[in-house]
Structure 1
Amino acid sequence: MNLARYPRLVDLLAAQYALGTLRGGARRGFQRYAERDATIRNAIDEWQRRLAPMAELAEPRMPPAAVWEAIERRLGLTAARDAARPRHVPPTPARPARPARGLFDNLAFWRGWAIGVTALAAIAVVVAVRSLLPAATAPTTAPTVAQQPEAAVSHVAVLSSKDARPVMLVAWDEAHSTMTLQPLGKVDLPAGRAMELWGIPASGHPVSLGMLPDSASGKVSAGQQKPESYEALAVSIEAPGGSPDHNAPNGPVVFTGKLLPVS
């Protein structure tokens, strides 16, 4: 099969390959195609480049001790350690049978959690990049990612609530001094209140970047602000018109997230 004849299929498979959701024989087969076809390799490289910055959004987590113990047992490290133990040292006693493990002791849960975080990050980048691609008449044959014009988005941030629930995507177009907002979850805005966006620099006080629409959707002007000046973005709940002090929120800060360059 000549995959190059189906650019939309190549684009879809390259995205799944970079994301890690293309598995088993399908992944190995697609990899063999990529080894022989530069167009497929370029599509994979382009997706990996666009998805890579979002990996920093996932905070490191330490799996429970039971997960490491299960890995050691599967790899035979426990038996090897006992065999290497001096004879005068008694072997590690067998652990008593444990009741069924809960969700957070389950290796499959942590593997699924990692995949979920990666998928969320990937979706955020795809939405950000594709939402600001220059408008054009749709071609007869959809181009691959590698053939598409460079996205206008320069920085992105996924803003999450205090319970780590993704709520809002901010895609910053530095070239046009605009920010595009995309809701990722329900935004609970109290009646008679408004949301204000803040830039958080590495040092110094927060800087107000303006008021946000109640729907957390649409475009807002970035004015003269540059995304390189800030490490993170935050949203506070304020009275209509915003905080009286443009150097600090007056109301509670409800959403925060790192601001990362797309490339």
Structure 2
Amino acid sequence: MTDADRHPEDQDDLLAAEYVLGVLSRDDWRAARDRAQVDGGFAARVQEWENRLSGLNDAFPVLPAPDLLPQIEARLFPVQPVRRRRFAWPWLAGAAVAASVTLAVLVWPIAPTPMPVQLVGETVAFNANYDGAVLEFALDVAAAGQGRDYQLWAIGDDGVPRSLGLLRGPVTRVATDLAPGVTLAVSLEPEGGAPGALPTGPVLATGVLPVVN
């Protein structure tokens, strides 16, 4: 069957799969990306393939989160717009495309998978897992110190920090209804947390809440 013989919906489905797998040429990939931003039906197909192929990410190491500390501090003192970065899917070998698509359809289930979250600063990093409802921090960093506490914040599009609580003990679980892409930050505060609604201590680390597939 040639491309001309394919039904338009089949062509769109194949294009969405190739876009997610990263096997398109640079110009075709950009064209597909731009189409997904304005074509709801095509965007839904892209999302379906991202869910199907999410298991392929297990073959790649977890990359450190981008250093957002200068941007966070600029928004807090004073408030400034936060620039967001868009992450591209890893480029996969062209020879494995057909086998990968077949396995994704027949083998991998579409189910929520906890995602690693890393808040990174100049001298410290906070690691957590996120299942779409709960952030679970394994506090393997040095203690905050006598009379001090680590405090977790969420910063939305309005640039206003909202406290999510204190990070204490070997494991801290934080329930949250935040949307993916929200910026998270950890500040060093007096014991018991910031006295007001805003952080008062230095921002130690920042990261971005991921999408849970």
Q: What TM-score comes out, normalization by structure 2 length?
A: 0.46
Q: Which has the higher helix share?
A: 1
TM-score (norm 1): 0.39
Greater relative contact order (CA < 8 Å, ≥ 6 in sequence): 2
The structure whose residues are more often strand, as a share, is 2
Larger Cα-atom Rg: 1
